[in-house]
Amino acid sequence: MKKLFSILIAFTIAILLVGTVFAQDVVRIGCSTSLTGKLAYEGKASKDGNDFYVAMVNRKGGLNIGGKKYKIDVKYYDDESDVNTTTKLVEKLITEDKIDFIYGPYGSGPGFAASAITEKYKKIIMAMSSSRELYERGFKYLFTCVTPAELYFKSVIYCLSQQNPRPKTLALLFKNDLFNKSAADAIPGYCKENGIEIVYNEKFAPGASDFSTELSVIKAKNPDIIVFLSQAEQFILGAKQMKDLKVNPKAIVTGVAVAEPHLVKALGKDAEYLSGPTLWDPTMKYRDDLFGDSQDYSKEFKKIFGYEPSYHAATNSSSCQALGIAMEKAGSLDVERVRNAMVTLDANTFYGRIRFDEKGRITGRTAPLGQILNGKFTIVYPPEIAVAKTVWPKPAWQ
């Protein structure tokens, strides 16, 4: 049955993506991303977000560019979660496949490498990368709808600092890659602003799978909050080891992993009360003419792909949408005209308002805090969009 279901999903996506492309003009987009390797889970979510946008646009007849309708066709390559492979494949998309517009790979490391290539050839890339380092190079053709990494924990730390009893200490353990380090580097400043002492601040290797030594040291320090930053695979291992070692802070916070349905499937009841930031949620009150509102986006996505989207998929869809809106605004597929339209873009979408600063980063967005409650990721802060209250302190592991 699972195999049949997978075949049906693939067939449905193919029909929606192809639509009536034949005998019509086509916008060709390129994408090298992680379909296998250590980032395959996040890479697939990103690809699904791209494909959902393309399916919805093609279903409605395509983009209206200069009075003509253009369907979208995406050329994918698998970078196998390897940065060097990313570089080669993005160059191949530009020089051999003759593609001017790139949907970026997942992650700040691959995005850093890919954007160097697109900038060299003056091609536009919509990056799934949020680390500050990417956007300090003065690039003109790099844009992202991902909240800046240094803002991921601004709301998180503030919300937790207001709980009763107020937390006094925090331990920080993070993966030593571009994104997680960028997010981690901002946390001490937010802690200082909110009267929280950092009692542990260490990194671990990108390929690490045993955190028992670090967690034992953290346990001895008995912090009120533990922040463990990594992608889903390593955080799942870390959470299991925290339970085994009976590490019981008042809150366990992660970064990009907590909003993923994969986390609850992997940890079961042990996922309960884990918390962290998100960039989008189906309960948010945004809408547009393509997707409808955020709940419409989620429902239709699930029909096609068989699972509820997290912010990874939604952010990719919004990035694709921003590029598509800019193409329509430019009335052309000329890279310079589309780039100029991106610079002045101001659009309200299912993902929220999309505007870019002079560095190509989305403006006006932070990252709300969510917590897994009753097996579901739930927004708990800020109050104006929260659907539940933070459970504090987190009950001890059972």
Domain total of the chain: 2
- My answer on whether 373 and 243 are in the same domain is yes
Q: Is residue 134 part of a domain?
A: yes
Residues in the chain with pLDDT values less than 50:
2, 19-23
Say which residue the tokens 């803002």 belong to.
151
Q: Residue 67 corresponds to which tokens in the numbers above?
A: 């009075």
Indicate if the alpha-carbon torsion angle 271, 276, 278, 284 is positive or negative.
positive
Residue 99 lies in a domain: yes
Note whether 24 and 138 are same-domain residues: yes
Q: Give yes or no: residues 27 and 112 share one domain.
A: yes
Please check whether residue 69 lies inside any domain of the structure. Answer: yes
Domain range for 159 is 151-278+368-381
Contact 72, 27 (CB under 8 A): yes
In terms of domains, do 231 and 298 share one?
no
Asked if 315 and 193 sit in the same domain, the reply is no
> Are 127 and 244 in the same domain?
no
* pLDDT in the model for residue 174: 98
Same domain flag for 166 and 273: yes
CA distance 357 to 138: 12
**Cβ neighbours around 134 below 10 Å, total:** 29
Strands (E), 268-338: 275-277, 287-288, 292-293
In a domain, 88, yes or no: yes
**Quick one: 344 and 262 in the same domain?**
no
Could you tell me if 125 and 145 are in contact, meaning their C-beta atoms sit under 8 angstroms apart?
no
Within a domain: residue 396? no
261 & 295 share domain: no
Distance CA 64, CA 220 (A): 61
**What is the pLDDT, as a whole number, of residue 261?**
83
32 and 76 part of one domain: yes
The position carrying tokens 């393309």 is 54
166, 296: one domain: no
Phi, psi of 99 (to 5 degrees): -105, 135
d(CA 259, CA 240): 17
Neighbouring C-beta atoms of residue 266, cutoff 10 Å? 18
Q: How is 140-153 classified by DSSP, letter by letter?
A: SSEEE-SPPGGGTT
CATH code of residue 83:
3.40.50.2300
Query: Residue 22 has what pLDDT?
Result: 44
Q: Is 362 part of a structural domain of the chain?
A: no
User: What is the per-residue pLDDT for 21?
Assistant: 43
Residue 20 has a pLDDT of 42
In the block, residue with structure tokens 């001017």: 100
Confirm whether 100 is domain-assigned: yes
Distance CA 40, CA 18 (A): 24
Q: Are residues 27 and 45 in the same domain?
A: yes
**CA dihedral sign, ordered 174, 180, 182, 186:** negative
Do the Cβ atoms of 373 and 383 come closer than 8 Å? Answer: no
pLDDT value at residue 257: 86
Residue 5 lies in a domain: no
Residue 365 pLDDT: 87
Residue 207, burial from CB neighbour count under 10 angstroms (0-12, 13-18, 19+): exposed
pLDDT digits (tens, 9 = 90+) for 73-93: 999 999 999 999 999 999 999
